[in-house]
Amino acid sequence: MSLVLHYAGMSRYNAWMNEKLLSVCDTLSDHELRSNQGLFFKSVLATLNHLLLADRAWMLRFTKDRERYVSRSADGSPIQITGLDHLLYDDWEAFKAERRKTDADIDAWVEELEEQGLLATISYKTTTGLEFSHPMWQAVSHMFNHQTHHRGQVTAALTRLGKDPGITDLAIMFRG
């Protein structure tokens, strides 16, 4: 199987799961959305914001498209990121709109992927200034794996809050 087909499936899963979580989170009270649930980034909202921040950071590294992947405030000015726990969008409705926009952008980017490009070397600096170089496919795999990792944390928190996110299995999405 090709990496391109694999990433097309992962991109579809990313958008599918994010929509499921947004729908369930719509049923949370503001307190439940923002309260410390014992997650690495504390709250459901903060964890989802971290995912959006990380997805945009990776997509910026992949594409160099600052217009599309630099987070912006309501007035259009770039948000100055202070760390991986930076809360990009405190307003739930604004967050949902930005999440959906980025998911559509990821889908569009994946549609343009080519096997050869995934074998090329990507070089970048982390938020702490460390420099890395490795094949692009490793970075893309990390981005999709990172999403699944933190969505799993959110899913556990939602379950603890008495909310059922439903089936989250990749195989179920493919069958649907």
Taking the mean position of all CA atoms in its chain, how far away is CA 71?
Answer: 13
Residue type, 157: A
| 136 half-sphere exposure, CB direction, 13 A CA radius | 18
Q: What pTM was computed for the model? A: 0.95
pLDDT in tens, 122-175: 999 988 899 999 999 999 999 999 999 999 999 999 999 999 999 999 999 899
pLDDT tens profile 83-113: 999 999 999 999 999 999 999 999 999 999 9
Q: Give the C-alpha separation, 37 to 101, whole Å.
A: 27
Select 3-175's CATH number: 1.10.540.10, 2.40.10.10, 1.20.120.450, 3.40.710.10: 1.20.120.450
